[in-house]
């Protein structure tokens, strides 16, 4: 048996930060990894205002927001209005510069509450890959299992793009950046290469040829002219592979009752995102251990990346959305369709602590 984990301190590569908006030019400090955490993949959501969806930024593309609840590309309106992340700092990021109190609500509205999920990859350093059907510009960190790819479509079918992970991607998202609107195409290993989800919709897994009917391999992902490889259009792809003790991209079968499944991850989760892949009409759902630090307190707090909706607190209107984070996985305690119909669910999860460190020290549940 190999080492329990190669990442003893998950805050070296992933952290969640809560902050209150100041109105303009705020430096949000994450305090992760002893103050040495410059984010490369940044996901921000206004927790209290249901009119403002979540935005994704990355250090490869620079200050260009992508809406997870919409099919927009790089958002020129938000760039022009100054609501974007201005800089990635060594210990966080700087919020937008706009003085317009409505525009700034996306990421830094005065007295608004926000959550920012942050991943550290490679400091914005990229490399060109020309050894595939399509050339790409890649930022990668094989230790934490994530890469960011930028490429232009050539109109071909089953076209290879190097992902640089050195392992088979288990989940990846592809988003068109220009040429009009385009959905977020989501690949997950549980669905295989002939189906996809859209991050920006409730839809169940749909039969598709958008990955060229080829599953990713240790070198490449595959894209197609039906949506992920349109000629002349530019794309970004975010790719992940599981890293023992740090991240997991898996699936589970729902029970349809409040005594739901236990899902083993090999670590105490800090972040879990779940999607029902069999039934349309159920949102993506995100929970993290920063907004909800304790189990069974009646205050489980959820966000939906495909909606603009404000944070939902368990127990609102008598609705329960309970999930317990344990030392080596998570336990579903609801029959809600977003988490636990008699259906198949996929998830992505990142660690707060590994179940056992590389030196054999165990973690504990919340």
Q: What is the pLDDT of residues 324-334, one digit of tens each?
A: 999 999 999 99
Rounded Cα distance, 126 and 248, in Å? 25
Examine the domain organization and report whether 251 and 167 are in the same domain.
Answer: no
Q: Is residue 273 included in any domain, yes or no?
A: yes
The reply to whether 136 and 113 lie within a common domain is: no
Q: Do 216 and 198 share a domain, yes or no?
A: yes
Give domain status of residue 259, yes or no. Answer: yes
Residue 26 domain-assigned (yes or no): yes
Cβ neighbors of 79 (< 8 A, separation 6 or more) are 63, 64, 65
Query: What is the average per-residue pLDDT within 34-58?
Result: 95
pLDDT tier, 97 (very low <50, low <70, confident <90, very high otherwise): confident
User: Structure tokens of 282?
Assistant: 């159920």
User: Where does a domain end: 240, 267, 283?
Assistant: 240
| Same domain as 150, residue 111 | no
Q: Are residues 252 and 347 in the same domain?
A: yes
Do 295 and 336 belong together in one domain? yes
Token code pair at residue 22: 């100041």
Whether 181 shows a pLDDT value over 80: the answer reads: no
How sure is the predictor about 1, in pLDDT bands with cuts at 50, 70 and 90? very low
**Residues 315 and 261 grouped into a single domain:** yes
Query: To which H or E segment does residue 25 belong?
Result: none
Number of domains in the chain: 3
pLDDT of residue 297: 60
Question: Is residue 219 in some structural domain?
Answer: yes
Residue 363 lies in a domain: no
Alpha carbon of 183 to those of 44, 199, 200, 216: distances in Å? 19, 8, 7, 20
Q: What is the pLDDT of residue 313?
A: 85
pLDDT, residue 202, reads 95
pLDDT at residue 69 tops 60: yes
Domain that holds residue 42: 10-119
Please name the helix (run of DSSP H) or strand (run of DSSP E) that holds residue 218, with its range, or none.
none
Domain boundary among 69, 84, 119: 119
Do the strands 285-288 and 267-276 form a parallel or antiparallel pair, or are they unpaired?
antiparallel
Same domain, 223 and 312: no
Task: Please tell me whether residues 338 and 265 are part of one structural domain.
Answer: yes
Confidence bin at 65 (pLDDT 50/70/90)? confident
Residue 197 domain flag: yes
State yes or no: pLDDT of 160 exceeds 50.
yes
158 in the same domain as 90: no
Q: Considering 214, 240, 266, which residue would you say is the last residue of a domain?
A: 240
Cα 34 to chain center, whole Å? 23
Half-sphere exposure of 148 toward its Cβ, with a 13 Å CA cutoff? 21
């Amino acid at each position: 048996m190999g080492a329990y984990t190669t990442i003893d301190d998950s805050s070296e590569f992933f952290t969640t930060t809560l902050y209150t908006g100041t109105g303009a030019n705020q430096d949000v400090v994450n305090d992760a990894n002893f103050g040495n955490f410059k984010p490369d993949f940044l996901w921000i959501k206004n927790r209290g205002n249901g009119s403002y969806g979540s935005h994704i930024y990355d250090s490869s593309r620079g200050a260009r927001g992508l809406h997870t609840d919409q099919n927009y590309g790089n958002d020129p309106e938000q760039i022009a209005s100054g609501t974007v992340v201005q800089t990635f700092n060594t210990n966080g990021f700087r919020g937008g510069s706009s003085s317009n109190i409505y525009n700034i609500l996306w990421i830094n509205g005065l007295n608004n509450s926000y959550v920012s999920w942050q991943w550290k990859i490679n400091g914005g350093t990229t490399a060109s890959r020309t050894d595939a059907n399509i050339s790409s510009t890649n930022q990668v960190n094989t230790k934490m299992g994530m890469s960011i790819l930028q490429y232009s479509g050539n109109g071909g079918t089953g076209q290879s793009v190097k992902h640089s992970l050195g392992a088979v991607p288990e989940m990846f998202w592809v988003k068109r950046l220009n040429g009009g609107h385009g959905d977020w195409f989501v690949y997950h290993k549980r669905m295989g290469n002939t189906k996809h989800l859209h991050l920006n919709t409730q839809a169940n897994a749909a039969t598709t040829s958008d990955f060229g009917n080829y599953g990713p391999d240790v070198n490449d992902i595959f894209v197609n002219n039906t949506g992920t490889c349109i000629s002349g259009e530019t794309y970004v792809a975010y790719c992940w592979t599981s890293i023992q003790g740090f991240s997991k991209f898996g699936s589970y079968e729902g029970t349809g009752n409040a005594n739901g499944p236990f899902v083993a991850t090999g670590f105490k989760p800090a972040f879990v995102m779940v999607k029902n892949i069999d039934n349309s009409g159920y949102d993506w759902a995100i929970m993290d251990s920063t907004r909800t630090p304790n189990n069974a307190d009646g205050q489980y707090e959820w966000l939906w990346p495909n909606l603009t909706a404000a944070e939902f607190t368990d127990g609102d209107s008598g609705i329960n959305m309970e999930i317990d984070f344990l030392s080596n996985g998570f336990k579903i305690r609801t029959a809600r369709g977003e988490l636990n119909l008699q259906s198949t669910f996929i998830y992505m999860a990142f660690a707060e602590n590994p179940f056992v460190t590389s030196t054999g020290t165990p973690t504990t549940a919340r």
